[in-house]
Amino acid sequence: MKLKPIIIVILCTIFMTVGLSCFNNQEEIQNNSTVFPREVTLEQASEVIGAEVPSPHGMPEGYTVQNIILEDSNTLKLLIVKSDDYNIDLTINKTVVPLKISGVPTVSINGIVGYFYSGEDENMIQWNMVLPSQTTTPGTLFELTLIASKNIPTGEVQIVAESVGW
């Protein structure tokens, strides 16, 4: 009769160890840099991409970054919101090929040539940014794509685009 409590204690210890092992494996999977897509911080994204990624600073009043998704080892997506009706998707892609498109209107994003597309339901601005020389990986090229619904004034969309930097 005295063996039963010992067996119960041993079995409980085994189950708890297995349970904690599963929990630790799940945490390891979430932190694994090869699991995509996944929600991350900008710092985590920079670590996986291998260069400091540009991000919005000083956006128009009321706009915030709601979530950051690392799509793969080169691509980051940010959802920027002001309200349910004012959502902007910003895709930041580490690339080696500079963006050059002909036949579409150009816009200036902080002195950088960007391209403006006006679609039926949304507007899109695309441009390149190069990581500044004072950073740890200078010269890294990023292609940025900002997509906003038509109900957001284009001037506001451009201000959000111009807020992106280091």
| 164-165 and 141-149 strand pairing | unpaired
**Higher-confidence residue: 117 or 28?**
117
Note whether 17 and 87 are same-domain residues: no
Note whether 61 and 108 are same-domain residues: yes
Note whether 80 and 56 are same-domain residues: yes
Count of domains forming the chain: 2
Read off the pLDDT band of 14 (50, 70, 90): low
Say whether pTM exceeds 0.85.
no
Note whether 26 and 62 are same-domain residues: no
Tokens matching residue 162 = 């111009």
Q: Is the pLDDT of residue 12 over 80?
A: no
- What is residue 72's predicted lDDT score, i.e. its pLDDT? 97
- What is residue 83's predicted lDDT score, i.e. its pLDDT? 84
CATH number assigned to the domain comprising residue 74 = 3.40.1000
pLDDT > 70: percent of the chain:
80
Tokens matching residue 17 = 């160890």
Q: Is the pLDDT of residue 2 over 60?
A: no
Average pLDDT of the segment spanning 27-53: 83
Gap between the Cα atoms of 70 and 37, Å rounded: 5
Mean of the per-residue pLDDT values for the chain?
A: 86
**Parent domain of 45:** 38-165
Average pLDDT of the segment spanning 73-92: 94
Rg of the chain over Cα atoms, rounded to whole angstroms, equals 23
Task: Give the bridge partners for 94, in sequence order.
Answer: 142
pLDDT digits (tens, 9 = 90+) for 108-131: 999 999 999 999 999 999 999 999
Note whether 79 and 47 are same-domain residues: yes
Helix (H) / strand (E) element for 111: namely none
**Higher-confidence residue: 43 or 21?**
43
Note whether 5 and 48 are same-domain residues: no
Q: Is the pLDDT of residue 42 over 70?
A: yes
